[in-house]
Chains A and B, each alone.
Chain A
Amino acid sequence: MKTFWSRFLGNPRVYLGLLWLGLLLVVAIAANVLAPTDPFAIVGKPMAAPGGEFWLGTDSLGRNVLAGLIHGSRATILIAVLATLFAVAFGTFMGAVAGYYGGLIDDVLMRFTEFFQTIPSFLFAIVLIAILSPSALNLVVAIATVSWPPIARVVRGEVLTVKSREFVQAAVVAGQGDAAILLKQVLPNTLSPLIVTGSLLIATAILAESALSFLGLGAPNVMSWGFMIGAGRSFMREAWWLVTVPGIAILLTVLAINLVGEGLNDALNPRLADL
């Protein structure tokens, strides 16, 4: 049997994904060095085509598109990753408790989860932002609120199967408490599907963040890719690069996350991949 790492890194698609994500991470961290000027600053004449003084041109107000792209990666990645972390933490808690205790607790928690699942998630996020007022923190809250139910479902299903395994009974017989059994015996064995679902969730969160920013519900005074597309959409015919450049950035990022996520899935569940 090959190890997890050799299966994960032996997959060429994973390399492509990791390459792009690594580049993105460096750009996001070093944004202030790579583009020292404020992305909202007017630096040249409006609608300059790419390839001139500014590599990726300027927008309708004469702002540098490349600087926007670089700073936008920060907001987009930070909001998506934070939202996913919150969603995974809350979803795992709900799913684990529901699956482990079962019975009435399971019924109550799962009906609660279904309540969230039945509302169309994007509309729900819009409503939440409308109520909470647009800000970076509220974007995280809204995206996390609409994306935890699938995590709760996955974790609950895994906990249900793992808890019936004999090593959990052995821990009960040894006298371990419920919380310790759940944390040390059950949850470590639910990690693989959780990692896969969680990593794919980041891609969904990026799309949600971009879509909300596109509608003008993003964080004000924070440059993000969705905001750039939203601002440039009226000039699509005169200045194609305003929409296309951040659009391609979103496409590549989501694609890269999916490639890595699939790679993780194949590496963590080798039987599915091989046979």
Chain B
Amino acid sequence: MTDIVLSIDHLKVALPAWSDRKFAVGGVSLEIRQKEILCIVGESGSGKSMMGKAILGLLPAPHVRAVGGKIMFEGRDLLELPDDDMRAIRCGRIAMIFQEPMTALNPLMKVGQQIEEVLEIHTRMTPLQRRERVLDLIRDVHLPEPGRMIASYPHQLSGGQRQRVVIAMALALEPALIIADEPTTALDVTTQAQILHLIKELQRAHGTAVLFITHDFGVVAEIADRVAVMRHGEVVEQGVATQVLRAPRADYTKALVAAVPGLKPRLQELDADSNVLLRVTNLEKTYRTSSGLFGGTVREVHAAKKINLELKRESSLALVGESGSGKSTLARCVIGLESVDSGLIEIDGERISGRTRAELRPFRKHVQMVFQDPYASLNPRQRVGDIIALGPMLNGVSREQAIAEARELLRLVGLKPDAVDRYPHEFSGGQRQRIGIARALAVKPKLIVADEPVSALDVSVQKQVLELLNDLRKSFGLSMLFITHDLRVAATVCEEIAIMQRGEIVERGATAEIFAAPSHPYTRSLFEAVPGREWISSLD
């Protein structure tokens, strides 16, 4: 076959001796054909990123290195190629799009210069030709006002715009292959939808082959021609996208597909007359950044504007919005980590806003929080038992009893009770999040604020943690304020949804009603942006 752009033949990438397994990639064979998008799907640790890096010779040698197999590209084995030839191939023939556009761009160089630099190094264009080409590229990726755009610095652009610049750089030399490593993971849902659309459009227009690395089956459904599913450094299944998505053969693929949260709304289960636990009235919060000791106010961000909210006892409400919508600010005000400018927050009829930290202490046991990042939310120098027992002990429970309760809680969240004597680093991300949940439950709160509790987890783990939260809610009689950017997640756990945009709640109602007929245009755009929407609906 002549239309094969890149063929990977039994590639093996070795990990350093102290790792938990020997090979990051253990004998993978793949082919990427012209004009196709091949998606590599896998959970974290599956070796999918290492494979992408191996193609471009970007492995962190000497500890991680390719030890076997071939990567054939345009008749040459990339693993055998000397550094100089490899440099010409990078960017020139194979380009890369990274996950985090901010770190992929030089913060001290104007965007236009950065794109031009690529042309300057790899081509013999005159300065005038280069400038023309840069403007063309900027137009190609649909950035507004190309003239102004090339004179901007990366920090002046939004995340989506930065990713467009990175894509423009990747396209600058018309490469035969683009490797995109989770290019939309750091972006908001609506931006993600636009970037996916752009990649697909450009790929069709330029006839480029794309190796797209992702963990999200929704994204796969949106963009892939062919799919390869990876696990523990091996390909467990590969084939045409429609076949893998609709009729997966391998058990692992089936499990992954089943774990994708559906768009089926949760039904209102509670009686309408149950009383209100949390009431937020006219909440206002503005952040002001000042410059140094003598500087005045430099920037103001209105994070919450006249927010009104009610949460009934034993129900759960999802705050859905994109980054910067003020949803986290609202949560932090409710939990008392942030003071409010004006407005009222009441829990069980008691005012908790406007109190000092010392005054807040008696109310702390009513509201607890589950944090986003399972790696940052547990103190690495404390034993799990001490982490969980801290809250009860501050409330006057003896240490022996608090540790005994911690053992019971660990059992409830699906861990072994003897985990109390171990340190957080001995647990995986999902297990750590269970420990975080156990900690929140330890003081028997009435309300749990969960700030993106599953966004840092793999899809299959996500599902388990969501199910756990659901079960515990029922058995503990908890109410939950659930913050998420993902409508799919909101639908599986919450009876009610409030959509936030730029510090305001634009739509609020029962999940089922909003899913049936979203009324606000922003809500509708969120629905349209859900990756793989048609495919997900077809699964239900």
**Is chain B a partner of chain A in the same complex?**
yes
List chain A residues, Cβ under 8 A from B357.
Answer: 172, 178
Check A2 against B18 for contact (C-beta < 8 Å).
yes
**Is B361's CB under 8 angstroms from A170's CB?**
no
List A contacts of B443 (CB < 8 A): 174
From B293, B365, B377, A166 is in contact (CB under 8 Å) with: B377
Residues 145-194 of A contacting B (Cβ, < 8 Å): 165-167, 169-176, 178, 184-185, 188-189
Interface residue A131 (Cβ < 8 Å from any Cβ of B): no
Interface string of B377-389 (1 = CB under 8 A from A): 1111110000100
Q: Is B217 an interface residue (CB 8 A)?
A: no
Q: Is B232 an interface residue (CB 8 A)?
A: no
Q: With an 8 A cutoff between CB atoms, is A1 at the interface?
A: yes
Determine if B390 and A165 form an interchain contact, defined as CB atoms under 8 angstroms apart.
Answer: no
- Chain B residues with a Cβ closer than 8 Å to the other chain, count: 35
- Find chain B residues with CB under 8 A from A178 CB: 357
How many Å from the CB of A109 to the closest CB on chain B?
12
Give the residue name and chain of the B residue nearest to A170 (CB): B377
Question: Is B306 among interface residues, defined by CB-CB distance under 8 A?
Answer: no
Taking a contact as CB atoms closer than 8 A, the residue among A2, A172, A176, A185 that contacts B337 in the complex is A172
Which residues of A have CB within 8 Å of B337?
Answer: 169, 172-173
Q: Say if the beta carbon of B45 comes within 8 Å of chain A.
A: no
Minimum CB–CB distance from B273 to chain A (whole Å) comes to 31
B18 touches A1 (CB 8 A): yes
Q: How far is the CB of B328 from the nearest CB of chain A, in Å? A: 12
C-alpha gap A173/B335 in the complex (Å): 7
Which residues in chain B, 321-364, are within 8 Å of chain A measured between CB atoms?
A: 335-337, 357, 360-361, 364
Q: How far is the CA of A189 from the CA of B395 in the complex (A)?
A: 25
Shortest distance from the beta carbon of A6 to any chain B beta carbon, whole Å: 10
Instruction: Report Cα–Cα, A76/B379, bound state, in Å.
Output: 39
Which residue from chain B places its CB closest to the CB of A187 in the assembled complex? B381
A173–B376 contact, CB under 8 A?
no
B26 is an interface residue with CB less than 8 A from chain A: no
Q: Are A175 and B365 in contact (CB under 8 A)?
A: yes
Task: Please give the distance in Å from A268's CB to the nearest CB on chain B.
Answer: 13
Binds A, one of B366-374, B405-413, B517-525: B366-374
Query: Is B391's beta carbon under 8 Å from chain A?
Result: yes
Contact residues in B for A174 (Cβ distance below 8 Å): 364, 368, 390-391, 394, 439, 443
A166 x B372 contact (CB < 8 A): yes
Determine how close the nearest CB of chain B comes to the CB of A182; give it in whole angstroms: 13
What CA separation (Å) do A184 and B394 show in the bound complex? 13
Task: Tell me the smallest distance from the CB of B449 to a CB of chain A, in Å.
Answer: 9
A23 within 8 A of B: no
Decide if B60 is an interface residue (CB 8 Å cutoff). Answer: yes
Task: Kindly provide the distance from the CB of B396 to the nearest chain A CB, expressed in whole angstroms.
Answer: 11
CB nearest to A107 among chain B residues: B293
Could you tell me if B63 and A173 are in contact, using CB atoms closer than 8 angstroms? no
- The B34-57 residues at the A interface (CB cut-off 8 A) are none
Q: How far is the CA of A1 from the CA of B16 in the complex (A)?
A: 10
CB distance from A174 to the nearest CB of B (A): 4
Other-chain residue from B60, B364, B379 in contact with A173 (beta carbon distance below 8 A): B364
Task: Give bound CA distance, A184 to B383, whole Å.
Answer: 12
Residues of chain A contacted by B336 (CB below 8 angstroms)? 173
Flag if B377 contacts A167 (CB, 8 Å): yes
- What residues of A have a CB within 8 angstroms of the CB of B360 in the complex? 175
Residues of B within 8 A of A189 (CB): 379-381
Any chain B CB within 8 A of the CB of A33?
A: no
Q: Inside 8 A of A175's CB, which chain B residues have their CB?
A: 360-361, 364-365, 391, 394-395
Mask, A1-15, CB within 8 Å of B = 1, is 110000000000000
A108's closest neighbor in chain B, by CB? B293
Which residue of the partner chain B has the closest CB to A176? B394
Are B371 and A171 interface neighbours, CB within 8 A? no
Are the C-beta atoms of B369 and A188 separated by less than 8 Å?
Answer: no
Which of A2, A167, A173 has the most chain B CB atoms inside 10 A of its CB?
A173
* Complex alpha-carbon distance, A185 and B381, angstroms: 8
Chain B: CB-nearest residue to A191? B381
Contact A274 B16 (CB under 8 A): yes
In the bound assembly, the distance between CA atoms of A174 and B380 in angstroms comes to: 17
Whose C-beta in chain B lies nearest to the C-beta of A174?
Answer: B391
A166 and B452 CA atoms in complex are apart in Å by 13
Which 6 A-B pairs have CB atoms at the shortest separation, nearest pair first? A166-B377, A175-B364, A174-B391, A166-B371, A188-B381, A167-B379
CB within 8 Å of A: which residues of B? 16, 18, 60, 63, 292-293, 335-337, 357, 360-361, 364-365, 367-369, 371-373, 376-382, 387, 390-391, 394-395, 436, 439, 443
Ordered by A's residue number, 19 sampled pairs between the chains whose C-beta atoms are within 8 Å are A107-B292, A166-B371, A166-B372, A166-B377, A167-B376, A170-B377, A170-B436, A170-B439, A171-B390, A173-B335, A173-B336, A173-B367, A173-B368, A174-B391, A174-B439, A174-B443, A176-B394, A188-B381, A188-B382
**A contacts, CB < 8 Å to B:** 1-2, 107, 165-167, 169-176, 178, 184-185, 188-189, 274-275
- Given contacts A167-B376, A184-B382, A189-B380, 19 further A-B pairs with CB under 8 A are A166-B377, A167-B377, A167-B378, A169-B369, A170-B436, A170-B439, A173-B335, A173-B368, A174-B364, A174-B390, A174-B391, A174-B439, A175-B360, A175-B361, A175-B364, A176-B394, A185-B379, A185-B382, A275-B63
